[in-house]
């Protein structure tokens, strides 16, 4: 016996399956380290920053990934590809743990690549995913934000999108002087404590005139209508086509856009000092090297070096 099809509501939409990860940024803040090495491959402890992002997407059920890349980023594709010579060498040495780690990176997900051509901003990067994504709701993960794997932000956003439809962004309360680094949301409350309804969003406002201190951080679950909005979006802040401006157009067109307020652990690897903090925080929590590193760190902080 077959069951009657459920009515088509926001709750019955097909869940997002695809994630888009823009990786075309130049990484100028990390020069000269990023002259020949993509910033996304800088290690956080012993894993490239980007692998944390890919693992997060896969954990949330998004196993189809598109990376929007640019010139000088070929090493990213190599990292997520098989490396038969290296695998054979590790096998010969009997180094099972490293063999598993090396293979793991290539078995995580089905990863596709598209080039951005000219870097014209985050909105332009996302637009390059239009034909890959088609008519589906999809996620965007920005490589500079590592979300602690114990804090299920993306899962929560996917859940909110399923129930409420439209698009969902991640929001973080930041000090007012920092809001000029982010998209900034104007919001109304909903009946869920961590879910807010956006009535506007503006890219990198002056702290003095910013409408709130709620920053958009690097996780989005977007309706495919964003592509048409981005095609109509002129260059904005910094002379670039901004994803924020595309989302603003969706709000103005009456589409639901919600924000999930994140109160968990986030590591910003796009800034040198925050990058160092991310390495230290993740290193002390590691089971293998954590105890030894923590002992040293305690002594160092106490002035012992
Ligand atoms: C981008 C977005 C901005 C967002 C930020 C999150 O800015 O344009 O709206 O708040 O990511 O990290 P970028 O960091 O590329 O300057």
Three-class SS state of 283? helix
State yes or no: cis peptide before 32, omega within 30 of 0: yes
Of ligand 1's atoms, which has the minimum distance to the CA of residue 145? 12
Q: What local confidence, expressed as pLDDT, does residue 13 receive?
A: 62
Which one is predicted more confidently, 194 or 98?
194
Ligand 1: nearest atom to the Cα of 242:
8
As a whole number, mean pLDDT of residues 28-52 equals 93
The fold adopted by the segment(s) 18-270 is: Spore Coat Polysaccharide Biosynthesis Protein SpsA; Chain A (3.90.550)
- Return the ligand 1 atom nearest residue 270 CA: 14
| Confidence band of 11 (pLDDT split at 50, 70, 90) | very low
Residue 160 CA to residue 165 CA, distance in Å, equals 8
Span 231-269, pLDDT tens digits: 999 999 999 999 999 999 999 999 999 999 999 999 988
pLDDT over 90, % of the chain: 78
Using an 8 Å Cβ cutoff, are 69 and 114 in contact? yes
Give the helix, strand, coil percentages of the chain, each rounded to 5: 40, 20, 40
Ligand 1 centroid – CA 170 distance (Å): 11
For a ligand 1 pocket test, name from 25, 181, 182, 220 the mutation site with the most ligand atoms within 8 angstroms of its C-beta: 182
The model's pLDDT over 48-104, given as tens digits with 9 standing for 90+, comes to 999 999 999 999 999 899 999 998 899 999 999 888 888 899 989 999 888 888 888
> Does ligand 1 come within 6 angstroms of the Cβ of 174?
no
Q: Does the Cβ of 183 fall within 6 Å of ligand 1? A: yes
Per the prediction, the chain carries an average pLDDT of 92
Q: Is the pLDDT of residue 173 over 60?
A: yes
The domain ranges of the chain are: 18-270
| CB distance 22 to ligand 1 below 6 Å | no
Please indicate whether residue 66, judged by its CB atom, sits closer than 6 Å to ligand 1: no
Half-sphere exposure of 123 (CA within 13 A, CB side): 26
């Amino acid at each position: 016996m077959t069951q009657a099809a459920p009515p088509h509501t926001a709750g019955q939409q097909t869940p997002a399956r695809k994630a888009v990860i823009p990786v075309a940024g130049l990484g100028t803040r990390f020069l000269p380290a990023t002259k020949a090495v993509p910033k996304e491959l800088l290690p956080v402890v012993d894993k490239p920053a980007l692998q944390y992002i890919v693992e997060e997407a896969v954990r949330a059920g998004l196993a189809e990934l598109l990376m929007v890349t640019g010139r000088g980023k070929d090493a990213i594709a190599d990292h997520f590809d098989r490396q038969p010579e290296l695998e054979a060498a590790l096998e010969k040495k009997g180094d099972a743990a490293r063999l598993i780690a090396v293979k793991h990176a290539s078995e995580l997900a089905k990863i596709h690549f598209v080039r951005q051509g000219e870097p014209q901003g985050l909105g332009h990067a996302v637009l390059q995913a239009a034909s890959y994504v088609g008519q589906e709701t999809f996620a965007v993960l920005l490589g500079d934000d590592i979300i602690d794997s114990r804090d299920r932000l993306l899962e929560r956003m996917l859940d909110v999108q399923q129930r409420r439809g439209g698009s969902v962004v991640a929001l973080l309360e930041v000090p007012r002087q920092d809001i000029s680094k982010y998209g900034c949301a104007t919001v109304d409350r909903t009946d869920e404590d961590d879910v807010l309804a956006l009535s506007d969003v503006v890219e990198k406002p002056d702290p003095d005139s910013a409408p709130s201190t709620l920053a958009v951080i690097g996780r989005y679950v977007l309706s495919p209508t964003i592509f048409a909005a981005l095609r109509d979006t002129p260059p904005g802040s910094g002379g670039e086509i901004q994803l924020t401006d595309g989302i603003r157009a969706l709000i103005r067109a009456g589409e639901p856009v919600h924000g999930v307020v994140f109160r968990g652990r986030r590591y910003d690897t796009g800034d040198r000092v925050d990058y160092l903090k991310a390495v230290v925080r993740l290193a002390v929590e590691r089971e293998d090297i954590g105890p030894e590193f923590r002992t040293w760190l305690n002594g160092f902080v106490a002035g012992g070096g």
